């Protein structure tokens, strides 16, 4: 067994009666989604949003929380993930066979109020084209892109990290300088937790409350004993997984880790 020592202010009590697997699956994806919706994009009921990777972990969290916030939601996904997106209240856009910018403007007219983009690189600017005037692209999970390991580069390294950071900075600046007030803003759960630790605590407490009320439900694809961790990672590597893989130390009552 491994132990981690934390200060009391780093801890949030888990309400009695919550299933351990759902509680542990909630933390990263749902905090990310909740803070992007309410801290970064500052969404309001009736607004339209586009979620990239909508059938993924953060994507499904965005859809569940967006439905609670009264949003009109669109989500890019493969044909395989379309039913999951529809079940969570989103309108699925097949990124493999449809141009999402054209499709958004066909469906909405002027565009959406916010786009949540984990892809980065030039894709951020394409996402900006889907915005209405005054809208925001929230870029998240972009470390590989900023380091020059994602869409902005074929080779990692210091020069490519500089290039990736520069390009991302230009997109942010362009959002402020170009007409239309269409902003590109970054989100990092680590940075926000460091700068605003009280927000992380408040938001996790709010999410546990929503889970206890059964207003949200993390998607769990499969549960594995810890001895099958390697097999779980192999399945993850193949892609196409909708929901979390949960590893259990000693059976369902001791589930501690989600991947």
Block mean pLDDT (10 aa), the chain, length 259: 78 88 90 97 97 94 98 96 95 96 96 95 92 95 52 45 60 67 91 91 95 93 88 83 80 51
Burial of 151 (0-12, 13-18, 19+ CB in 10 A): middle
* Residue 91 is assigned to a structural domain of this protein: yes
* The pLDDT value given to residue 158: 53
Does 188 share its domain with 254? no
Calpha distance 124→221 (Å, rounded)? 29
Does 225 share its domain with 156? no
Pairing verdict, β 220-225 and 90-94: unpaired
Assess contact for 90 and 74: CB atoms under 8 A. yes
- CATH at 150: 3.40.50.720
Calpha distance 64→31 (Å, rounded)? 12
* Residue 53 is assigned to a structural domain of this protein: yes
- Helical packing angle, 197-212 and 20-35, nearest 10°: 130
* The pLDDT value given to residue 148: 43
* Residue 172 is assigned to a structural domain of this protein: yes
Can you give the residue range of the structural domain that contains 107?
A: 14-212
Does 146 share its domain with 177? yes
Does 124 share its domain with 206? yes
Helix (H, G, I), strand (E, B) or coil at 141: coil
Does 135 share its domain with 234? no
Does 59 share its domain with 126? yes
* The pLDDT value given to residue 226: 85
Does 232 share its domain with 146? no
Does 50 share its domain with 177? yes
User: Number of folded domains in the chain?
Assistant: 2
* The pLDDT value given to residue 252: 47
Assess contact for 55 and 84: CB atoms under 8 A. yes
């Amino acid at each position: 067994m491994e132990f981690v020592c934390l200060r009391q202010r780093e801890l949030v009590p888990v309400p009695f009666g919550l299933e351990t697997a759902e509680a542990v699956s909630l933390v990263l994806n749902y905090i990310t989604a909740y803070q992007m919706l309410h801290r970064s994009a500052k969404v309001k009921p009736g607004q339209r949003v586009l979620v990239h990777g909508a059938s993924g972990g953060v994507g499904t969290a965005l859809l569940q929380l967006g439905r609670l916030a009264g949003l009109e939601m669109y989500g890019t996904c493969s044909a395989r993930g379309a039913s999951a997106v529809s079940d969570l209240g989103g309108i699925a856009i097949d990124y493999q066979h449809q141009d999402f910018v054209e499709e958004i403007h066909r469906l909405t007219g002027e565009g959406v109020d916010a786009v949540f983009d984990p892809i980065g690189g030039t894709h951020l600017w394409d996402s900006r084209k889907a915005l209405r005037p005054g809208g925001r692209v929230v870029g998240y999970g972009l470390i590989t892109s900023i380091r020059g390991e994602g869409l902005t580069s074929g080779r990692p390294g210091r020069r490519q990290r500089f290039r990736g950071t520069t390009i991302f900075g230009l997109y942010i600046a362009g959002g402020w300088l170009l007409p239309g007030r269409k902003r590109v803003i970054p989100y990092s759960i680590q940075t926000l937790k460091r700068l605003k630790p009280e927000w992380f605590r408040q938001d996790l407490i709010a999410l546990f409350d929503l889970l206890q009320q059964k207003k949200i439900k993390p998607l769990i694809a499969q549960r594995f004993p810890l001895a099958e961790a390697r097999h779980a990672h192999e399945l993850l590597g193949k892609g196409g997984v909708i929901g979390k893989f949960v590893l259990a130390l000693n059976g369902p009552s001791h589930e501690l880790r989600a991947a």
